[in-house]
Structure 1
């Protein structure tokens, strides 16, 4: 099914596509009373709106890069995992799953699957900050969806 779609930079597309999306957003968020008012504001005809409204979409910020998996090596000491989880909470990271191995030689492997749709900074910065936390030996970003 995805073979029917393309991701294209809007720099090469006519402005009309962007205006259809803008009109739809005005309608959906209640800024206008109806389609006629929306198309008038954005500067397209009603027929143009109806022609493209079901075929032109803008990727939602939350639809790209919403999930990530990281792997960490933590020292086996009280509070280290807790400090990692507290940091994640401060950065608006929602933890979906936690898998922790039994500590061997004073270290435990921890894998976290994350919902990163609400983070306020790049995931690379979060990884770098995690590496600086006390008791965190290593952090690797395994995947991002």
Structure 2
């Protein structure tokens, strides 16, 4: 494995990592001005915060105005791909590429790459919304660069 980054479900990690992210968000948004106050608010030590602050990120923090590639299995029904593209566009995504295979047994393999600089919601929220779209059988986050 060449990549030094992993995507891990937070449910299997110690809660300290999520607390570091929450403290960083409190500081970033200005809700809290001082690190001491932020770490006290979330229940971690300053040393823990400093140990992990440069190594724990949400998908949004890590992606920072980059490209996202999603892979789909879509039902071969009129308007499904159009609805997915409309969701991405309506939420501020700028579609760069669309690759679609010929549908086999009523299912088409599609990949879409888009810029997420101007998204109005988080990547996770957008993915959840797309997953709930009629005709979307499977959605996989392939990459964020």
Report the TM range for the smaller structure's normalisation: 0.5 to 0.7
After superposition, the C-alpha distances for 1:91-125 in whole angstroms (9 at most, x for unaligned) are 01100000000100100010001100000211111
What SS does the aligned partner of 1:114 have? strand
1:64 Cα shift?
2.0
1:66 Cα shift?
1.4
TM-score by length of 1: 0.55
Any stretches of 5+ residues in structure 1 without a counterpart? Answer: 1-8, 10-60
TM-score by length of 2: 0.55
| Cα distance in structure 1, aligned partners of 2:65 and 2:128 | 18
Q: Is the 8 A contact 1:70 1:111 kept in 2?
A: yes
After superposition, the C-alpha distances for 1:37-80 in whole angstroms (9 at most, x for unaligned) are xxxxxxxxxxxxxxxxxxxxxxxx8x824111000110001111
Aligned to 2:105: 105
Aligned to 1:124: 124
What SS does the aligned partner of 1:103 have? coil
| Cα distance in structure 2, aligned partners of 1:84 and 1:64 | 22
Could you list the structure 1 runs, at least 4 aligned residues long, displaced by more than 3 angstroms after superposition.
Answer: none
| Cα distance in structure 2, aligned partners of 1:78 and 1:121 | 27
Q: Is the 8 A contact 1:68 1:144 kept in 2?
A: yes
Q: CA RMSD in A?
A: 1.8
Any stretches of 5+ residues in structure 2 without a counterpart? Answer: 1-23, 25-60
Q: Is the 8 A contact 1:66 1:116 kept in 2?
A: yes
| Cα distance in structure 2, aligned partners of 1:106 and 1:100 | 13
| Cα distance in structure 2, aligned partners of 1:65 and 1:143 | 13
Residue 78 of structure 1 pairs with residue 49 of structure 2: no
